[in-house]
Chains A and B, each alone.
Chain A
């Protein structure tokens, strides 16, 4: 192995690591706020990337059916609850969020898809279709069980994952798709040639991480999320509604997943089920970071990217095994270190 190869592999590792870092942050956010181990995180990647690829070819992606029918289901659940409590005043808001918004997005996409607008418009359309799925999924699958144990929530996550993967196969088909790169430009950096797309990935990840930090530090919503993740009961006692923080964390998770998907869609072939594996590696990154700290989770994810890249050079057949074996020593260390009782059940 010479310096050339080392640099190439390092570059590759950092690009993949940047994506894993984004996903690790989303997983950690959702877990600390709602105690949900959000297995379907990867599905947002798939939905956004494949929707973008389909939009580019002038087709209407099936994602909008998921959005519309998911919205109807969520509206139904909320309306039922509101009617039972005779809280009529909640109805217009429910209709606006779960019916008007999804239908408007769906109509917009259905109209815009055959027009083949500029790429940035299509990126926005893909985001508009995928991001609202986060709160909708939370409303349907998790909110009714918000007080359940981590294990129950995890099992729900598996179910949601299988349902979304199944829908993904129906709407996108079994073959892989790829979208056009944002820019074909390439730069010489010493011996290594860096493509503009990979700079996009790293820069966008860095900006997104910075924005998340600002959100948590400066905004009232970010502070509410932080408070909930520090102490769920305490946060409720000071008047932070857990439904709001749940919706917010899923909204952010869906946004991060969708952005990741759009970033990697041009550099790799994505299949209807690819997102799961990418999300899983973000999860490994979060665990390497101790499943508690955002900067450590990001670092852990970059480490996963680098280890993956180097093991694909030395022992490509065992790459996956090497990456996923990483969590075993970490879990052993975590369980030896931890003395506190898990804050699992509601008091």
Chain B
């Protein structure tokens, strides 16, 4: 009788002990699959359906909240996830303003934040933030090199009248001096505008050698169509936010030859076999399209994937120092994220350091061009 009880107790204790040793890692996510950023948020969110349930040998629980593409809501969600759900790491959101809000909360509460939008992670205020997407300067650098190679001297800019437009303008202007061109216009429009005639006329009057459009998704098509309609003959460049199938569907024949930088996962089939990310990108694109339909590939789902990969690479080192669910674990996870090496994602190879919380290099960008109604790799 006594022995039976002891055994039962022992079994229970072992079970309990095992449970504590294998405590789940909780990932808090806030995204806007509704609201003005819905067209991006839906893709980010979709990708979480394909993410593994174990990372670095640990079970992972994802808690996804909706912020309606609203910065205030994103901040609130982040706080809720951290204080109520005790998440170990936070991910989000589509939109720069939302991400900046989450970043503040992350810094304040000492929670590692894998940011899914490109924000400039520079000083101590971003100590807990890691930017998964390519920095805009890195992306637009590819455009700047192409401009330089084609002897472009003047560039007209037209972009969204929001944070994304600002980022794209800054990135285009950032490379101007070193690549020998001048940005001659800074026109703005809103995604919901019915006409960009005024802005386009101003660009036509300035007559630049090329135009850079700082829009995203189908929103990039409106100025492109207006420029073509007015008979603009120069090259029109877009950015990585625009590269999806819907852009071509809306733009039709007029957007043929449009050029944009993007992460390599948009065209994994066309990458040379030696390309570092080809295998991962191809596998992910196939899985994504198998679930969400042919042609549904997009850069945003890739950022979700890469954020989870980075987390997976950092977990083993953090597990050695502390248990999930504790402040010590969050601290350890942050340190580990700064020291992971050669994490191959869909977009590029991540080598973050304490000084550089992005850690991507030139391998994370390619130029693509619309040819016969499809985004094709530029050779």
Contact = CB atoms under 8 A, between A and B. Distances in A.
A324 B205 CA distance: 27
Most buried by B among A9, A169, A316, A319: A316
B42 A16 contact: no
Contacts of A316: 161, 187-189, 198-199, 202
A309 B197 contact: yes
B190 interface: yes
Nearest to A4: B201
Contact of B246 (A176, A274, A277, A317): A176
B230 to A, nearest CB: 8
A189 to B, nearest CB: 15
A109 interface: no
A16 B194 contact: yes
Q: Is the interface of A mostly helix, strand, loop or mixed?
A: helix
Given A5-B201, A9-B201, A268-B222, A174 B42 contact: yes
A177 B244 CA distance: 13
A15 B190 CA distance: 18
B197 A277 contact: no
Nearest to A195: B229
B201 A313 contact: yes
A16 B196 CA distance: 11
Contacts of B195: 12, 15-16, 267-268, 309, 312
Interface in B161-197: 161, 186-197
B197 A176 contact: no
B219 interface: yes
A271 interface: yes
A173 B245 CA distance: 14
For chain B, give the interface size range: 20 to 34
Contact of B250 (A177, A264, A310): A177
A9 B198 contact: yes
A12 B194 CA distance: 10
A219 interface: no
Interface string A153-173: 000000000000010010001
A173 B42 contact: yes
A138 interface: no
Interface in B287-336: none
Contacts of A310: 198
Given A173-B39, A176-B250, A312 B198 contact: yes
Nearest to B40: A174
Interface in B13-54: 33-34, 36, 38-42
Nearest to B196: A312
Contacts of B40: 174
Interface residues of A, number: 37
Given A5-B205, A268-B222, A273-B36, A320 B194 contact: no
A164 to B, nearest CB: 13
B194 A175 contact: no
Most buried by A among B40, B194, B195, B199: B194
Contacts of B194: 16, 19, 264, 267-268, 274, 278
Contacts of A320: 161, 190
B92 interface: no
B202 A313 contact: yes
Contacts of B187: 316
Contacts of B202: 313, 316
Nearest to A45: B194
B221 A269 contact: yes
Contacts of A173: 39, 42
Interface in A312-339: 312-314, 316-317, 319-320
Given A166-B34, A176-B221, A274-B192, A9 B197 contact: yes
A226 interface: no
Contacts of A12: 195, 197-198
Interface in A67-81: none
B162 to A, nearest CB: 10
A233 B221 CA distance: 51
B217 A8 contact: no
A118 to B, nearest CB: 20
Nearest to A12: B197
B218 interface: yes
B220 to A, nearest CB: 9
Contact of B198 (A174, A269, A313): A313
A5 B202 CA distance: 9
A309 B39 contact: no
A9 B202 CA distance: 11
Given A174-B39, A316-B161, A316-B188, A269 B250 contact: yes
A175 B187 CA distance: 23
Interface string B243-266: 010100010000000000000000
A311 interface: yes
Contacts of A103: none
Contacts of B42: 173-174
A317 B161 contact: yes
B221 A312 contact: no
Interface string A169-189: 100011111100000000000
A272 B38 contact: yes
Contacts of B197: 8-9, 11-12, 309, 312
A271 B191 contact: yes
Contacts of B198: 9, 12, 309-314, 316, 319
A176 to B, nearest CB: 4
B248 to A, nearest CB: 11
A276 to B, nearest CB: 8
Nearest to A313: B198
18 contacts: A8-B201, A173-B42, A174-B41, A175-B218, A176-B219, A178-B250, A269-B221, A273-B36, A277-B190, A278-B192, A310-B198, A312-B193, A312-B197, A313-B199, A316-B161, A316-B187, A317-B161, A319-B188
Interface of B: 33-34, 36, 38-42, 161, 186-199, 201-202, 205, 217-219, 221-222, 244, 246, 250
Given A16-B194, A169-B34, A173-B42, 19 more contacts: A12-B197, A169-B38, A173-B39, A174-B38, A174-B39, A175-B39, A176-B39, A177-B218, A177-B250, A267-B194, A269-B250, A276-B192, A309-B195, A311-B198, A312-B199, A313-B198, A313-B199, A316-B198, A320-B190
Lowest 8 CB-CB distances: which A-B pairs, in order? A312-B198, A174-B39, A174-B38, A313-B198, A176-B218, A12-B197, A175-B246, A317-B188
